[in-house]
Structures are given as structure tokens and as C-alpha cells.
Amino acid sequence: MNHFGYRAGRLYAEDCAIEDIAARAGTPFYCYAHATLERHFSVFKSAVPEGSLIAYAVKANGNLAVVSALGRMSAGADVVSLGELKRALAAGIPPQRIVFSGVGKTRVELEAALDAGIYEINVESAPELELLAEIAAEKKTRATIAIRVNPDVDALTHAKISTGKGENKFGVPMADVPALAARARELKALDLAGLAVHIGSQITDLSPLEDAFTRIRILAETLLAAGHAITRIDLGGGLGVPYVTGNQPPPDPAAYGAMVRRIFAGLDVQLIFEPGRLIVANAGILVARVIRVKRGATRNFVILDAAMNDLIRPALYDAHHDVVPVREPERNAPWAEADVVGPVCETGDTLASGRRLPPLSEGDLVAILSAGAYGAAQASEYNTRPLVPEVMVKGTDFAIVRDRPRYEDILARDHIPAFLR
Ligand code: LLP
């Protein structure tokens, strides 16, 4: 459920008319509904065992307003870079609720994680384990770690966001974990507290998750039997969300929570979750204006002022996002098929292909739905199109939570060297 809907023929985000926001922010812009963030977080929280840490995956949407809103609801943060660590801390997430994941953490990042005193570093390889031990020893401190396991399970999702198969770069192969745990015990600067797993994103079938979690439970028991004090298990993120209205919805958090409770029943550990998409995807829309409607030789095009640089998911993952007009269509309006495209000079700049749409003309506003996760977060300035602003709505209030950069600032980042002058 989200908080975007028509009232008297106009699209609203909570109690704010999108047209009013567009008048202030200009288009395109991302718009987030605080009430949806709150709802999704609380639904997830009540689905998982009490005492679990819900470490929101900052990569899905790192806007400080979003992270801080979730932090106020008791969320922690799953971060994967120094930048995300800084975001989480700046948004007020306590270090004791921050988990650091990622396959290529640098020395600088590991140092920053130790300095901040975060809850756990999820180690993904033997060399990373050695480096972390060395850094912690230098700093005369101890690092609390989990070993991220690669369970060799196919998440049955898009190949580009599948992370749990043996051939993927992530995690430590199951068979190597006992030896790595034994090595961690030798290294006095390390405290091995748990295991972690994350097999992919936009997972719409619980069975691969169940398979992976079962393997992790067995592995945890093996480590416990070997005398390791395993007290936490991080189950990652990955639960899918509905993108296509009318399609079979993915399993809801309650079904996921029930499965998790069943798999880990009787094991005395704290569970950690790293949901990203589930919390923010349907809490955000991308609002754009129609620049022009164009008739091609064989197709019709609705050309928007938003493009693949603002929302790359359709180009990168063949992702579907519903597109709706901000003015509710008349009951008998003649719908027709069109491609919804941006102005970027690539055919890949297609936000929706062969979509049935109500009549749209120049100047009309449209909303691209379910764009709160991996939308603004993956935007770029390709074609020197400034990153678009982000707006958060809460009831009748809204605020611009990221400014649109000025062209001067964009150009000022480049330098023409002396030898060209
Ligand atoms: N934890 C780890 C270690 C991850 O790698 C990810 C996502 C998450 C948690 C959060 O997963 P979620 O709950 O959001 O599925 N850009 C792609 C998705 C990439 C996901 C990367 N890792 C997309 O737009 O579909």
C-alpha cells in the first residue's frame, strides 16, 4: 500500500497535490511519501522476530531525509561504502545500528568503520579478514565481524541483481567458512559474532531464500559446535515488491517473517535484516512533464523531461514502472499505445515500451511509479542533465530534500588544464 492516489481528478502524495509540488520544485523531481516509509517499515518490523535489527540498505535511497525518517522509527543502516557510512551517521543513525557490507572494502573504509564503532563488519574474503585484523591491531581495538557466506543458491531474479550463486563475486564459499572462522579465532583483534547472507534483490519467490537460510542455519550450528560464539545472523535484504498493477504480488513480509521464524526456531541468535527496496520502492514516484508527443513511422512516442539518467532501471534491468497521468483521465478517454521516452540520445532511453496510455499532450505531468528505490540513488548527469531534486511529503507538508544543482556548479567541477590554455 502507498499514499499516492487521485483526489477530485488530481494525483496526490499524502495530502499534497503533485501539481503544487511541481510548481515549486520544477520538473522532473522525485517525490517520497513519509507515510509510506513509515508503513512499510512498521509492517516489516512487526513481521520479523522482536529484537531483530532492521538495518535499512542505504544504497536503495540514501537521501538524508529518508535515512533519518527511518532512523527515527528505530531503523539501523546497512552501508557499503565510506560515503554511505557518512550518510548514515549524518542522518543520525547510531553506530551501534550500522552494518558494513560489500565485497571490496578499502583500508580507508575499514578504518572509518572501526573509528565509528559500528555494530558489525561483514567480511567477504580471507584477505579482507587479514587486513581488518591488521588494522584493528594497529588501532589497539577489536573488530566485531560476521562472515558473509555465498550459499550457492539461485535467487530466481534478474541476473544482474543475483548475488548468491557460486559464480558470483559475493561472500565466502560455504565449504571455506569453518577454516576462515578458525583463522578469525586466531586473530586476537577479531570477534567473530555471526554469519551473513544476501542472495539477490527483487526476489518474488520465498523458496530460494528458504533454501539459503536453511544452509546458513546448518552452518551456524557447525560453527557453534566448533566453539564459536555465534550470536547474530544477518539475512540481508532482497524481498521483492509489486511493480506491475494487476500482477501476482510477491510474498508479503508476514509470509517472509513466518518462514524466517520457522527456519531459525530454537537457535539463540539475534537476526539482522537489510531491506532496501521493500521499504522505499513504492514510497517514491518520479514526476515528469511531457515535452512533446511525436508520431514515428511505426510507433508513437511520449517524450518526457525525465530520462534514463534519472531512472536507469528500465534500461539496465528491463524493469517495468507504471506510468500514470497526474490529471486523472476522463472516463471515456481514448487510450492508445506509446513508448514513453526521455530526451537522451540512446534508444535505451525508453522508460516504458508499448504502454497503453490515456491521451497526453505537451505540458502534461506524469508520474512514474515505484521509483523510490534505486531511482535517485542510481541517477547520473549523463547528457549533462542535472540530478533531479527530491521532495518529501508528510501530510499537508512537503519539503525539497535535495536541491537541483546549478549548471555553473556542474561545470565548475571540471578544469581546463594550463597546457590547454
Ligand atoms: N544487503 C546487501 C548486501 C545488498 O547487496 C543489497 C542490495 C541489499 C541488502 C538490499 O536489497 P533489497 O532489499 O533492496 O533487495 N539496483 C538494483 C538492485 C540492486 C541491489 C543490490 N544489493 C535494482 O534497481 O533493481
Q: Is the CB of 342 under 6 A from ligand 1?
A: no
What is residue 83's predicted lDDT score, i.e. its pLDDT? 98
pLDDT band at 318 (very low <50, low <70, confident <90, very high): very high
Last residue of a domain, one of 273, 305, 324: 273
What is residue 92's predicted lDDT score, i.e. its pLDDT? 98
Ligand 1 atom with minimal separation from the 274 CA: 9
- Give the amino acid at 87: R
Q: Quote the cell numbers at residue 110.
A: 575499514
In a domain, 351, yes or no: yes
CA of 158 to the centre of ligand 1 (A): 12
**pLDDT tens readout for residues 347-405:** 999 999 999 999 999 999 999 999 999 999 999 999 999 999 999 999 999 999 999 99
CA of 265 to the centre of ligand 1 (A): 26
Given a contact cutoff of 8 angstroms between Cβ atoms, the answer to whether 307 and 342 are in contact is: yes
Residue 1: pLDDT over 80: no
Domain count of the chain? Answer: 2
Last residue of a domain, one of 225, 242, 273: 273
**CATH code for the domain of 333:** 2.40.37.10
CA of 292 to the centre of ligand 1 (A): 35
Query: What is the pTM (predicted TM-score) of this model?
Result: 0.98
Whether the link from the prior residue into 28 is cis, omega within 30° of 0, is yes
Q: What single-letter DSSP state applies at residue 33?
A: E
In a domain, 358, yes or no: yes
Measured at the CA of 294, the angle between CA 288 and CA 298, to 5 degrees, comes to 125
Same structural domain, 264 and 286: no
**CATH code for the domain of 220:** 3.20.20.10
What is residue 268's predicted lDDT score, i.e. its pLDDT? 97
**pLDDT tens readout for residues 260-273:** 999 999 999 999 99
Last residue of a domain, one of 243, 273, 303: 273
CA of 238 to the centre of ligand 1 (A): 6
Q: Is the CB of 238 under 6 A from ligand 1?
A: yes
What is residue 246's predicted lDDT score, i.e. its pLDDT? 80
**pLDDT tens readout for residues 230-289:** 999 999 999 999 999 888 889 999 999 999 999 999 999 999 999 999 999 999 999 999
Question: What's the whole-number average pLDDT of the chain?
Answer: 97
Q: What is the largest CA-CA distance in the chain?
A: 73
Same structural domain, 311 and 203: no
Q: Is the CB of 198 under 6 A from ligand 1?
A: yes
What is residue 249's predicted lDDT score, i.e. its pLDDT? 87
Q: Is the CB of 60 under 6 A from ligand 1?
A: yes
Same structural domain, 221 and 294: no
Same structural domain, 320 and 337: yes
Give the structural domain span for 218: 102-273
**pLDDT tens readout for residues 136-179:** 999 999 999 999 999 999 998 999 999 999 999 999 999 999 99
The pick from 99, 148, 277 for probing ligand 1's pocket by mutation, whose C-beta has the most ligand atoms within 8 angstroms, reads 277
Same structural domain, 236 and 327: no
CA of 199 to the centre of ligand 1 (A): 9
Q: Is the CB of 234 under 6 A from ligand 1?
A: no
What percent of the chain has a predicted confidence (pLDDT) above 70?
A: 100
What is residue 43's predicted lDDT score, i.e. its pLDDT? 98
Burial class (CB in 10 A: 0-12, 13-18, 19+), 56: buried
What is residue 231's predicted lDDT score, i.e. its pLDDT? 98
Is-catalytic flag, 345? Answer: yes
Q: Is the CB of 62 under 6 A from ligand 1?
A: no
Mean pLDDT (whole number) for 191-208: 97
What is residue 135's predicted lDDT score, i.e. its pLDDT? 98
Same structural domain, 198 and 259: yes
Pairing outcome for strands 98-100 and 76-79? parallel
Q: Is the CB of 256 under 6 A from ligand 1?
A: no
Q: What are the C-alpha distances in Å from 107 to residues 12, 71, 121, 129, 133?
A: 46, 27, 13, 11, 11
